[in-house]
Structure 1
């Protein structure tokens, strides 16, 4: 039971970034932007993100369970940096309409995820593997952010 509770806590912690980001909906501003043809429909985002948050939480939990690791270790510092950057992007892009600042921030997010993935992989390869879809999604989102910046 303790293991399941720990997993749930990590999933909730990760989901809080999504709860924060969800406050800043795309709205009319986003609808009026010029976007590339390969922009996904809006319904895709609320489907993809919960899956990614579950995978992120599971990844963190797998590393956290290890006896040799604590929350103050380097791996978790990077994990929390990327989680914070994840939450901030929605505020910058959708909340403030800062397309170029959002682009710079999402590139930092990509780097933070990549570092976290590598650090987690060294501790537990499954934990690292669970972050690969997240990195791929942020790669796609970065390209989309760049294209929107170029078009507007």
Structure 2
């Protein structure tokens, strides 16, 4: 587990994996937002009634970039960890939740399916919780790096619900 994190070999292994995982996760996330026009300045989105808790639009790009970096490092910790019976499934469930994450923006911003996007993000929350449970069995650090992500998507789910209620 993470007892070896302090060793130079393990740290190097995490960094080697992170060189791959961080850019891949960040690019996938940012491409999803860009391709679906999730910048908040699209005609459809600007016409929506915004919830009172809606943060400044610039914040979304900043927060999501940070979260994708944390997700990439989280995956790197799991990939660098010694083999366990849970490691393969942990990586698989991470990939599944990432696909679900990447598809939320097109569902909401491109297809304008606000209600469906809410149920989709609830599915994402469940998958992230499952990912965290399996990551914890491989690397506690990897699991902890996903805590801000879970918190943000829970907030995003509340926002999504409020958009649905108001529009």
TM class, shorter-chain normalised?
over 0.9
Matched, 1:45 2:60: yes
What secondary structure does 1:51 align onto?
helix
Q: TM-score scaled to structure 1, two decimals?
A: 0.93
Query: How many angstroms apart in 2 are the aligned matches of 1:21 and 1:104?
Result: 19
Q: Which has the larger radius of gyration?
A: 2
Superposed CA offset, 1:93-144 (max 9, x none): 0011110111111110111111101111121111100000000000000000
Distance 1:86 1:106 in 2: 8
- Are residue 13 (structure 1) and residue 24 (structure 2) matched? yes
For the aligned residues, what is the CA RMSD? 1.8
C-alpha distance in structure 2 between counterparts of 1:20 and 1:8, whole Å: 21
- Do 1:36 and 1:148's aligned partners in 2 also have CA atoms closer than 8 Å? yes
In the alignment, is the contact (CA less than 8 A) between 2:77 and 2:142 conserved in 1? yes
Q: Secondary structure at the match of 1:40?
A: coil
- Please point out which of 61, 80, 83 is paired with 2:95: 80
Residue 20 of structure 1: how far off its partner (Å) = 2.2
Aligned to 1:93: 108
- How far 1:22 sits from its partner (Å)? 2.1
What TM-score results when the alignment is normalised by the length of structure 2? 0.85
Aligned pair count reads 152
Distance in 2 (alpha carbons) for counterparts of 1:52 and 1:106: 16
Mapping 1:1-152, distance limit 5 Å: 3-15=14-26, 16-25=28-37, 26=40, 27-68=42-83, 73-152=88-167
* Structure 2 residue ranges without an equivalent (≥5): 1-11
